[in-house]
A and B are shown apart, each in its own frame.
Chain A
Amino acid sequence: MELALLDMLGIFAVGTVILSLLVGEHVRGGQQLSLLYLLQLVIVSFMVSSSESTQFSSALTLELQGVTMSWRLDGLGLYFALITVATALFVSVYMVGAWGAHYRKQGGSLPLLHFALSLNVLTMLLLLASGDLLSLFIGWELASWSAFLLMALAGGTALKSALRYLVYAMAGAMMVFGAIAILVVEAGSFQFAAVNSALVQLEAETSLLLLLLVVAGFGVKMGLLPFHLWQASAYAETPGPGAAFLGAISSRLGLFAILLVLFKVAGGGWLNQSLAGVSSQTLLAWVAVATIIFPTFTAMRQNDARELLAWHGIGQGGYMLLGIAMMDPLGAAGGLLHVFNHATYQAALFLAVSAVIYRTGSSDLNHLGGLVVRMPLTFVTMLVGIIGLAGLPPTNGFVSKWLVYRSLLEQGEVLLFVGAVVGTLGTILSVYKLIHNSFLGSLRLEHQPIREVPWTMWLPMLLLSLIILLSGIFPGVPLQWVSAALLSIGLPVPEFNLGGVVAEGGSLDMRIISGVLFAGFAMAALIFYGMGGRSRRVNPLDNYAGGHFLYAANRYHYSNNFYAGLMHLIKPWYRGLFQRIEQAVVRLLAVAAGLVQGIYLQAQAGRMALVVTVLLLWWGSYVGQGGGGL
């Protein structure tokens, strides 16, 4: 058997898992793991860059229960695989050295964390490479459960959040299971091609049901409304680098699977049908917009930096789905490009927040501030990251959002556009809260002695920031991967060049935009310094305000109850609707469970037995007298 490129990738991924158990105990042992991630990245990059083959198949096929399972990576899978492995590499470098030692000192199990991370990468690659419905479902389940492991390993409240995730994920998986069962029974095969050709004869109701099951089932994992409640706390409680990995890419698997099934397997036809008079495409777009708006404004309320970021992660997923739901070249490309962009800045932001926790022991936005003077590199990372998250030039987040907006306007979807813009407004406000409350303002007295994080931590952060900027200035590079991904699932591809997208009625060239922007900055700097602007460093406490000297006790950095006025205005809107729905479901279940438990706890054990016997005998006589079956 000749080893295909994909098999080598698989072997390295398995090797990482095994090695993580062997060397994970040592803080330096993570280096070998990083090296293995690097090797995986090299292989994936080679696959991505080689243009002669559009699909990399594995030589390995497995026949289980008469079903032939095969694995292959095509454009879509490669795109996600690239992000997965790259994120794992950055995160693992971060975990080596100081952070790992710190984590271990706090009572965490470093080998377990390494193991969970590498297991996530392996199972995600399995999912991304799935070549039929069975391997898709197996990959999906395995990836979901390894994500659970990563979330749960901190124990305590993290485990509680992870269990909540577990229930949601199982619900999603069971919807998918049902959909796959229907598809397989209809087609008589697990293979994509056979399923695709069998879909033609499907009844309208069945395909609508399938659409619902697939979107909702896979959507649980990407936090699609109304299945989003689990995500923020589950991700936030995960140990820093793990949270970065989960937030950056693990949460996007839902999108991957939706794209795969909706477009590659079903050919996109399901989105054309209408549900209660509304086309399901529009409906999907509105779900996406709701997913943008609600979580984003919930993020604004958070006082924990990790929670804030995790809530944004949910909202940003909405942009991706919104773009793809437009199904036109600009929208689809924008939505898919946002996956990459989001991964870069979300990883950078989580790592930066994790760095703050590493030094200060807190991510409480009410009890931080002024860290810019102590941790400048982390500050830079966070600055670049939040610009990306807010979608402002010259970062990559701007490009993808621009594409999505552009597509919305071109399609004449003004309301959707307004919704998306409202979401962006919330994003800008809340990311300002994030950076202001943690890095700006006055440094707290207890944070005076801290220093910048060690290089193993700032290096991946700065590299990520660099990627955010570079892929913002030259979006053509990621767009190339995106176009391969779009081609592989049969969606239209926009015309693009290194600097951006060429479209009728206005192209986007980030090189020009960034050039103008940087020229502006240069001009301002020139004016400031050229006009003799002199700045003198003073200790933040060596100052006075209102005629009074400042003491450490009087802080002039208002971070507590940030946005009080705004919150007062929009507070009535926070109704906790979804929380209530969730609670209602749980209570309903509890009541039902109490009732059925009552059956078992009756004093007269025979009573129910008697009732059932009589009913059955009645049934027997009913049937015997010619009544039909149920």
Chain B
Amino acid sequence: MSTEWLPLVVALPLLVAFLLQPLAHWLGVRAERPSPVLYGLSLMTIAATLWITLQLGSDVIAQPLSVTMGGFNTPVGINLYLDGLAYLLLLATQLALLLLWPAGAAVRTHVLLLVLAASSMGLALSGDLFNLYVFYELLAVATFGLIAASPGRAAPLVSFRYLLLSGMGSVLALSGIALIYSHSGSLNLADLSMLAASGEGSLPIAAFLLILVGFGVKAELFAVNSWVPEVYSVTSSRFAALLAGVVSKLAVVMIVRILLLLFPQPEATDPLLLLGILGLVSGELAAWRSNDFRRMLAYSSIGQLGMIFIAFSLSLELGLFAGLALSFHHMVVKPGLFLLLQQPLSRWRVVLLILFALSLVGVPPLPGFWAKLALLTGLVEVGGWLNGVAAVTFLVATVVEAGYLFRIVQRYYQEERPIAGSTSSTVAAVESPWGWEGGVALMLGGVLLAVTLTINPVTEQLQQIALQSGDRERLISTITVSEVE
């Protein structure tokens, strides 16, 4: 399959999203009623993007490719850039969407999810800052709609608060991008990375910090993440799983792309490290204190992303792999936990929950351990007092994490043997059917075990991807070679 098909990954869901509403009208589907036809169409769209991605093949891990849009060369035109990291993110997004797509949703939800799909994949593929910003905004809009559409009286308020924070983030990110544009005259990542070497003055660094805070809203960066506990506890667990699992990682990867390509100097990584530490501390402590499990997981997610930021603030060779490993691990575990807690706990679900918890805590030989090992040795190797603080924080946070995750297990046992007379609604006496959510959680558990058994090849692949995405020269050459003659 030719690389010309790549833009379809973004365009197809968008197209279907725009057509869905008229189609519903034409079919006579009432807006609030679920429609199997529209559901099937949406799923098929995502499946089609998955098929396209798979057809492009996994050899992008060896040789990344770039597609220029509209026949214009890079400073003017826009291009999509597909490397191993983007490929993995595409696959993860598509699979997550396929698995978590709500079956009985209204037309509106289908449309919004399709927009979310298109913008997520666009984010993963963007080769220039402007596109990045556009897709990011589109993603934000889709998310507002989806949160506001959640059942429950709190949803509109939560959505509004999220809108405010996200709007602020957008403004900041846009000012950062504007600063860069005024400084360099280009928004193409490859172009910029060539310009970035001249890092004089405070302008570039300020631009990066603005972008960091701006995109940090979705990436659950500390201090712009107060929406996380609210949103995750209001929305359906499928959507929370999607947000915590995939969307946050997309935002993180965007930040990392910009960081690596444009600002590899310590002035830029130090604030990232500091905010990562603060996120880790605040997330884990707040999770430890919260009694509501959905909120606990939300806070825990903040902590985990703080850990990921710490990893990415390390030098290229050490940090990128650790950060990616942590990201992908979190991408599997956190949705699993969200989905499991959706249903009443039963014996086997608790076993699965313990498996996820153990991996999240980092108990060998589960995958979480290897990711944490990479992070810790990286921190020790780079040294310095701030990294030392990060290492200590990381170790303490892990203890806290183990404490609160196993409190969920404790709750289960307490409720399993209820005091006479009290009836508990959250715990099923008998094994209730697993349902779709449970099935997906089970599958994620299976993935975790499979990775545990094949840890060597998986790590090797991930290391290659990390190496590739940290390779600035390769990106520059790939994008410039693909230019229209």
| Contact, CB under 8 Å: A630 / B282 | no
Supposing A155-B413, A155-B417, A616-B212 touch, asked if A170 and B402 sit within 8 A by C-beta, the answer is yes
Chain B, interface residues (CB within 8 Å), range: 35 or more
Contacts of B275 in A (CB 8 A): 612
Q: Contact between A167 and B205 (Cβ–Cβ < 8 Å)?
A: no
Within 8 A of B (CB), among A494-540: none
Cβ of A64 and Cβ of B282 under 8 Å apart? no
Does A374 lie at the interface of the complex (its beta carbon under 8 Å from any beta carbon of B)? no
Instruction: Please tell me if the beta carbons of B380 and A185 are within 8 angstroms of each other in the complex.
Output: yes
Instruction: Contact check, B172 vs A156: say whether CB atoms are below 8 A apart.
Output: no
Alpha-carbon distance between A624 and B267 when the two chains are bound, in angstroms:
9
Query: Are A609 and B205 neighbours in the complex by a CB distance under 8 Å?
Result: no
Q: For chain B residues 171-228, which have a beta carbon within 8 Å of chain A?
A: 172, 201-203, 205-206, 208-210, 212-213, 217, 222-228
A616 closest partner in B (C-beta): B209
A 590-622 contacts with B by CB, 8 A: 590, 592-594, 596-597, 599-602, 605-606, 608-613, 616-617, 619-622
Q: Which of A22-30, A86-94, A134-142 contacts B (4 or more CB under 8 A)?
A: A134-142
Over the window 24-52 of chain B, the binary record of Cβ atoms lying under 8 Å from chain A Cβ atoms (1 yes, 0 no) is 00000000000000000000000000000
B436 at the binding interface (Cβ < 8 Å): no
A8 within 8 A of B: no
Q: Which single residue of chain A is at the shortest CB-CB distance from B285?
A: A593
Q: Is the interface of A mostly helix, strand, loop or mixed?
A: helix
**Binding-face segment, A98-106, A171-179, A460-468:** A171-179
CB-defined contacts of B266 to chain A, threshold 8 Å? 629-630
**Interface membership of chain B positions 432-454, coded 1 if the CB is closer than 8 angstroms to chain A and 0 otherwise:** 00000000000000000000000
Structural contact, B398 and A170, CB atoms closer than 8 A: yes
Contact between B212 and A177, CB atoms less than 8 A apart: no
Q: Are A65 and B267 in contact (CB under 8 A)?
A: no
Note all chain B residues with C-beta closer than 8 A to A64: 365, 370, 455-456
B105 at the A/B interface (Cβ < 8 Å)? no
Q: Given A163-B403, A170-B403, A616-B212, do A65 and B459 touch, yes or no (CB 8 Å)?
A: yes
Contact assessment for A137 and B410 in the assembled complex, using a CB-CB cutoff below 8 Å:
no
A627, chain B: closest CB distance, angstroms: 9
Contacts of A42 in B (CB 8 A): none
Pairwise interchain contact A177-B376, C-beta atoms closer than 8 A: yes
Whether B403 contacts A145 by the Cβ 8 Å rule is no
B377 adjacent to A184 (CB under 8 Å): yes
Stretch touching chain A among B5-13, B137-145, B161-169, B234-242: B161-169
In the bound complex, do residue B399 and residue A167 qualify as a contact, i.e. CB atoms below 8 Å apart?
yes
**Is A63's beta carbon under 8 Å from chain B?**
yes
Pick from A601, A605, A619: contact of B209, CB below 8 A.
A619
Q: Quick check: A606 and B165 within 8 Å, CB to CB?
A: yes
Distance (whole angstroms) from the CB of B416 to the closest CB of chain A: 8
**Which of chain A's residues 575-590 have a Cβ closer than 8 Å to chain B?**
589-590
Least distance between A61 CB and chain B CB atoms (Å):
13
Say yes or no: A181-B161 contact (C-beta < 8 A), given A163-B410, A605-B226, A609-B168.
no
Give the Cβ gap from A592 to chain B, nearest Cβ, in Å.
6
B271 within 8 A of A: yes
Q: Are A625 and B213 in contact (CB under 8 A)?
A: no
Given known A167-B402, A605-B165, A612-B213, contact A178–B289 (CB-CB < 8 A): no
B226 CB contact (under 8 Å) in A167, A602, A613: A602
- Given A64-B455, A141-B364, A617-B206, CB of A609 within 8 Å of CB of B213: yes
**Which residues does chain A contribute within 8 Å of B228, judged by CB atoms?**
600
Is B281 an interface residue, CB under 8 A from the partner? yes
Cβ contacts under 8 Å, A622 to chain B: 202
Q: Are the CB atoms of A175 and B395 closer together than 8 Å?
A: yes
Task: Flag if A624 contacts B201 (CB, 8 Å).
Answer: yes
Q: How far is the CB of A3 from chain B (nearest CB, A)?
A: 22
Q: Which residues of A lie under 8 Å from residue B392 when comparing CB positions?
A: 178
Is the CB–CB distance between B213 and A613 below 8 Å? Answer: yes
Question: Shortest beta-carbon distance, A445 to chain B, in Å?
Answer: 30
| Interface: B474 (CB within 8 A) | no
What is the bound-complex CA distance between A142 and B386, given in angstroms?
Answer: 31
A-contacting residues, B349-365, CB 8 Å? 358, 361, 363-365
Q: Is the CB of B226 within 8 A of A185?
A: no
A239 to chain B, nearest CB (A): 15
Looking at the assembled complex, report how far the CB atom of A540 sits from the nearest CB atom of chain B, in whole angstroms. Answer: 39
In the complex the two chains form, what is the Cα distance from A594 to B282 in whole Å? 10
Q: Which of B271, B373, B376 contacts A616 (CB 8 A)?
A: B271
Q: Nearest chain A CB to B177's CB is how many angstroms away?
A: 15
Q: Contacts A170-B399, A608-B223, A630-B386 given: A620-B364 contact, CB under 8 Å? A: no
Bound form: Cα–Cα A589–B231 in Å: 26
State whether B399 touches A609 (Cβ < 8 A): no
When the two chains form their complex, are residues A613 and B202 in contact, meaning their CB atoms are under 8 A apart? no
Q: Which of A63, A155, A616 contacts B213 (CB 8 A)?
A: A616
Q: Which residues of A contact B226 (CB under 8 A)?
A: 599-602, 605, 608-609
Q: Looking at A64, A616, A617, which has the most chain B CB atoms within 10 Å of its CB?
A: A616
| Residues of chain A with a CB closer than 8 A to B290's CB | 597
B274 and chain A: residue at smallest CB distance: A630
- C-alpha spacing A52/B224, complex, angstroms: 66
Q: In whole angstroms, what is the CA distance A455 to B391 when docked?
A: 55
B381 at the interface (CB under 8 A from A): yes
Contact present for B417 and A620 (CB under 8 Å): no
Contacts A167-B399, A177-B376; A630 near B413 (Cβ below 8 A): no
Complex Cα distance, B362 from A137, in Å, reads: 12
Closest to A182 in B: B380
- Bound together, the chains give a CA A185 to CA B269 distance in angstroms of 22
Q: Is A623 in the interface zone, CB < 8 Å from B?
A: yes
Residues in B with CB closer than 8 Å to A116 are none
Partner of B224, one of A171, A609, A623: A609
Question: Is there contact, CB below 8 Å, between A624 and B289?
Answer: no
Decide if B286 is an interface residue (CB 8 Å cutoff).
yes
- Residue ID in chain A nearest B376 by CB atoms: A181
The complex places the Cα of A605 from the Cα of B361 at a distance, in Å, of: 30
Closest A residue to B208 by beta carbon equals A620
User: B133 on the interface (CB 8 Å rule)?
Assistant: no
Choose one: A65, A182, A590, A609; the contact of B223 (CB below 8 Å). Answer: A609
Given contacts A167-B403, A185-B377, A606-B168, could you give 19 more A-B pairs where the C-beta distance is less than 8 Å? A138-B364, A142-B364, A159-B409, A174-B395, A174-B396, A174-B399, A175-B395, A593-B289, A594-B289, A600-B299, A605-B164, A605-B165, A605-B226, A608-B223, A612-B213, A613-B209, A616-B210, A616-B212, A629-B270
Provide 29 A-B residue pairs closer than 8 Å at the C-beta atoms, listed in order of the A residue: A64-B370, A64-B456, A65-B456, A145-B358, A155-B416, A156-B413, A174-B398, A178-B380, A185-B381, A590-B289, A593-B286, A593-B289, A596-B281, A596-B286, A599-B223, A599-B282, A609-B169, A612-B222, A612-B223, A612-B275, A613-B209, A622-B202, A623-B202, A623-B267, A624-B202, A624-B203, A625-B202, A630-B266, A630-B270
B-side residues, CB < 8 A to A, are 161, 164-165, 168-169, 172, 201-203, 205-206, 208-210, 212-213, 217, 222-229, 266-267, 270-271, 273-275, 281-282, 285-286, 288-290, 299, 358, 361, 363-365, 369-370, 373, 376-377, 379-381, 386, 391-392, 395-396, 398-400, 402-403, 406-407, 409-410, 413, 416-417, 455-456, 459
Q: Which 8 A-B pairs have the closest CB atoms?
A: A624-B202, A620-B206, A612-B223, A593-B289, A593-B285, A596-B282, A174-B395, A629-B266
Q: Which residues of A contact B (CB under 8 A)?
A: 63-65, 137-138, 141-142, 145, 155-156, 159-160, 163, 166-167, 170-171, 174-175, 177-178, 181-182, 184-185, 589-590, 592-594, 596-597, 599-602, 605-606, 608-613, 616-617, 619-625, 629-630
